[in-house]
Structure 1
Amino acid sequence: MGFNIDKQTLQELNLLGKFKSGSVYGLFNKVETSGGEHLLSNMFQHPLEEVTAINERSAIFQSFEKTGTKFPFDVQQLGLMNDYLDPDAGKNKLLTLTDLFVKKILAMLTRDERYKKIIQGLQAVIVTLSKCHQFLSTIRGTDICTGVFGSRIKAIELLLSEPKLEALRLIDIYKTLPLTVLANYDHLLKNGLRKQMKEVLTFIYELDVYIAVSSVSKEKDFSYAKALPGEDNLLEVTGLYHPCINGAVGNPLSLHRKSNVLFLTGANMAGKSTLMKSIGINLYLAQMGFPVAAKEMRFSVREGLYSSINVSDNISEGYSHFYAEVIRVKQAAEAAASGQRLLLMFDELFKGTNVKDAYDGTLAVTQAFAEYEECLFIVSTHIIEVGEALQGTSNILFGYMPTIMDGNHPHYTYQLTEGITEDRQGMLIIQNEGILELLQ
């Protein structure tokens, strides 16, 4: 079925995008190879769904981080190897020998580069196989081999021990090979061992991702979340922060079946939206088995993630800002009512309408959300009277982002605090900016 997340949520949380400024993908995209980049992108687009798979991938990243492994392969050689293995499959040995002979003659008589590229490609295969063998020797006995990734290591070791590949790996690339030997290996690699060679490249791309992501985790001092069954409906985290913000303030959070709604209040600029994005991003990373920006984290596996943080009007559909908000809440309600286990986040519900309707709508929707105990919700608002009306409603946890006044100037702690804010500094900020004086 797949993990459910829509385009708006992906954009609001800035999860994807190689060239998007501040994207979460960009934070982890430190891979060396195009194959590694493709694998990393695929991981980001397809979060895992099973507890075991999540915890196993997390364990692999941790083993690479603990070992501190560096990527040992030559990227240029990998490119030559990949280009060499791609074409010309299916020829028999005689045709391969004939083809190589013709290309060698053309290389001698003209500037034809095809024979040279074949030699370079075969050399790249030999170099790569040799480095792969050396790498496996260097990590023997480490957590990488003894942990979850051990079976993958053993499979590659078995593949490289194939007698013909072992003989090829030991060839001196600086010596000229007889044409018949060259043709024999060319045919073997592109036909009989073609699948095995692709498997070696896939293994190397996996190493690229594991090494790159674990190095980012070590550099940023991230941690690894523990995945739990979805039916537990739990999200417990300490020191959680936005992974793409340097020096971000860490916060605790504990949601569970009997306290599944965080009702969040606080002044504008106090950090409500950033906190919500931090929760959503880290839940998504945890669902991928990736490192998270937190001290500790335990979470029940979700079936989807849904946010409404930066809803805008839709001119092409004729939607006003308020109607776009209503449609977004309707979509979320349908998703929750479908029985899926989701994390749903709503920032400043119904801010596109008048205060009375926003109050009534926020109150009614939040009360309705609290009844869906298979989902977790975060609802923020600056209409603090809604929080007061929700007091005594079961399943709702109240938190706020404080504002500290230094004379007439507000300062923000960005520290989630239990309760409902009493901050009302909007008019004070307007006065501080001298707007009224400008208009007089």
Structure 2
Amino acid sequence: MEIKDLNIPEIAKLFDYTQNEDTKSCLNKMLFTPLSSLQDAIERQDILKGFIANISLFENYSYSRIDFRETDYFIEKFSDEYYLPKNIKLKLNLYKTIYHEYRSKFVQVVLLLNRLHSYVKSLPTKAFPENYKKELLSMDDYLSSYRLNYYENLIRENKLRIKHIIEFFGLIAEKKSKKLEIAFKDAYTRFETYISIAKGIKAHQFFFPEIGHANLSVNDFYHPLLKLPVKNSLETNCNIILLTGPNMSGKSTLLKALGICVYLANIGLAIPASTAKIPFYNNIDIFINLNDDLQSGYSHFMNEIQNLKKVITKAGSGKPGFTVFDELFRGTNIDDALEISRSTLKGMLNFPNSLFFVSSHLHQLTQIEEIAAGKICCMHLDCNLKNETPEFTYQLKGGSSDIKIGRILFEKENMKELLKLL
């Protein structure tokens, strides 16, 4: 997949309500890792829907980050040879320094784990798909086996004794020997990540699309990073959409917004739209901010050719793909660009399982017979002229646009006079 032009690191911030670095790392991994199947995407949707349905349980979700970090480190490095050597009971009775070290760590671990357990056990498992229900129950079993309420009550009632500390550390040693703490940590990190994403979805009022449909249909979609985004709707009936419109009409922004919706849907997340039906794509490739590749020596045009080659090769496998080419072949002269753009658009018809969005400033492309025959859909972003001044609506409409604002802006800025052409 090629998704760097979607600026996923910034999109990830919309879902970032994480409490620690492990969860933040898990969040980023989740957002950057494609899912392998439609079933995986649906299952993740169902998991997140379960968290959102119970989001009130996590409105005040928090804990001491220092306690979490120190507890995590303590359990990770715990060694029964160090903490449970022979005669440890005698040493704890004789040496106050050792006793206070053990007691302090005991209190910190018990209180932190019991706080985490309160969140896990409060979540009704019936709200989740079977696989994740098992993971929740596994976390609950792990934490319950520590008898955390019992030990916390001893602390609160000032009834804690040395035998309790040794007993609890013995439980840690037992779980360490079976490596149960590793599975729990991984599961709890995912648990926190789902909480974080669910909070983001709720805060930004994103919508879960119906995933797995044959055709793409998105209503009121928008770019989530814009303060005042314009919403658009789109329904595809063919596998190639040619997008036209003058410069500055918002073609790149619209394509990014659509790409974000498609990508987030395909990794099981909610999207910035009101309703949507989105296919599951095995390949998603977005080419918008294409530059010369100086390191490899490729020119802009050669980069375009190589990217197109990769996309078409993947499309040839027959697996569904979604691709965006913004201003395709702008890296070559207009005659070459027009000729090879025609060939490319016609050739894309041979890959019906893939959906191609191609924006272009070459208005001559709108005259090709495949558009007239309805095999290729033509759309444009609206622009009105008022007193020879362009007014951009950023609204997506059917058909092509023949407005050319370059000359208008050239003359409006008095370039003829400055160039002494009058």
TM-score bracket for the superposition, by shorter chain length: 0.7 to 0.9
Q: Structure 1: state its 5+ residue gaps.
A: 17-22, 109-113
**Structure 1 residues 174, 117: CA separation in 2 closer, same or farther (over 3 Å shift)?**
farther
* Residues 84 and 170, structure 2, Cα contact 8 Å, conserved in 1: no
Give SS of 2:277's match. strand
* Residues 123 and 173, structure 1, Cα contact 8 Å, conserved in 2: no
How many Å apart are 1:179 and its aligned residue?
A: 3.8
Matches within 5 A, 1:129-208: 129-136=113-120, 138-140=122-124, 145-148=126-129, 149-162=132-145, 164=147, 167-172=150-155, 175=158, 177-192=160-175, 195-208=179-192
Selected match of 2:259 from 259, 280, 301: 280
Write the distance in 1 (CA, Å) between the matches of 2:230 and 2:360: 21
In structure 1, the residue matched to 2:109 is: 125
Runs of 4+ in 1 over 6 A off after TM superposition: none
Give SS of 1:417's match. strand
**Structure 1 residues 319, 97: CA separation in 2 closer, same or farther (over 3 Å shift)?**
same
Give SS of 2:364's match. helix
- The answer to whether the aligner puts 1:13 opposite 2:6 as a matched pair is yes
In structure 2, the residue matched to 1:386 is: 365
Write the distance in 2 (CA, Å) between the matches of 1:99 and 1:235: 68
How many Å apart are 1:102 and its aligned residue?
A: 8.3
In structure 1, the residue matched to 2:381 is: 401
In structure 2, the residue matched to 1:255 is: 236
Give the residue type in structure 1 aligned to 2:311.
A
**Structure 1 residues 294, 100: CA separation in 2 closer, same or farther (over 3 Å shift)?**
farther
- The answer to whether the aligner puts 1:246 opposite 2:236 as a matched pair is no
Give SS of 1:414's match. strand
Write the distance in 1 (CA, Å) between the matches of 2:392 and 2:94: 73
How many Å apart are 1:174 and its aligned residue?
A: 7.5
- The answer to whether the aligner puts 1:352 opposite 2:331 as a matched pair is yes
How many Å apart are 1:215 and its aligned residue?
A: 1.8
- Paired residues, what number? 413
Give the residue type in structure 1 aligned to 2:20.
T
Write the distance in 2 (CA, Å) between the matches of 1:319 and 1:263: 26
How many Å apart are 1:153 and its aligned residue?
A: 3.2
In structure 2, the residue matched to 1:32 is: 19
Superposition TM-score, scaled by structure 1 size: 0.85
Selected match of 1:432 from 403, 407, 412: 412
- The answer to whether the aligner puts 1:42 opposite 2:42 as a matched pair is no
Deviations 1:47-98 (A, max 9, x none): 2222222122112222322333322433332222101101133539852754
Give SS of 1:292's match. coil
Q: Structure 2: state its 5+ residue gaps.
A: none
How many Å apart are 1:125 and its aligned residue?
A: 2.3
Q: Quick check: 429-438 or 165-174, which moved more?
A: 165-174
Write the distance in 2 (CA, Å) between the matches of 1:189 and 1:153: 20
Selected match of 2:201 from 217, 224, 229: 217
* Residues 239 and 294, structure 1, Cα contact 8 Å, conserved in 2: yes
Q: Quick check: 37-46 or 169-178, which moved more?
A: 169-178
Give the residue type in structure 2 aligned to 1:425.
I
**Structure 1 residues 187, 173: CA separation in 2 closer, same or farther (over 3 Å shift)?**
farther
Write the distance in 2 (CA, Å) between the matches of 1:200 and 1:388: 61
Give the residue type in structure 2 aligned to 1:317.
S
In structure 2, the residue matched to 1:64 is: 51
* Residues 215 and 235, structure 2, Cα contact 8 Å, conserved in 1: yes
- The answer to whether the aligner puts 1:305 opposite 2:295 as a matched pair is no
Give the residue type in structure 1 aligned to 2:141.
L
Superposition TM-score, scaled by structure 2 size: 0.88
Write the distance in 2 (CA, Å) between the matches of 1:72 and 1:289: 26
Give SS of 1:305's match. strand
The percent of aligned pairs where both chains have the same amino acid is 23
* Residues 344 and 376, structure 1, Cα contact 8 Å, conserved in 2: yes
* Residues 233 and 376, structure 1, Cα contact 8 Å, conserved in 2: no
How many Å apart are 1:209 and its aligned residue?
A: 1.8
Q: Quick check: 403-412 or 197-206, which moved more?
A: 197-206
What is the RMSD of the two structures over their aligned residues, measured on CA atoms?
2.8
**Structure 1 residues 196, 316: CA separation in 2 closer, same or farther (over 3 Å shift)?**
closer
How many Å apart are 1:31 and its aligned residue?
A: 1.0
Give SS of 2:141's match. helix
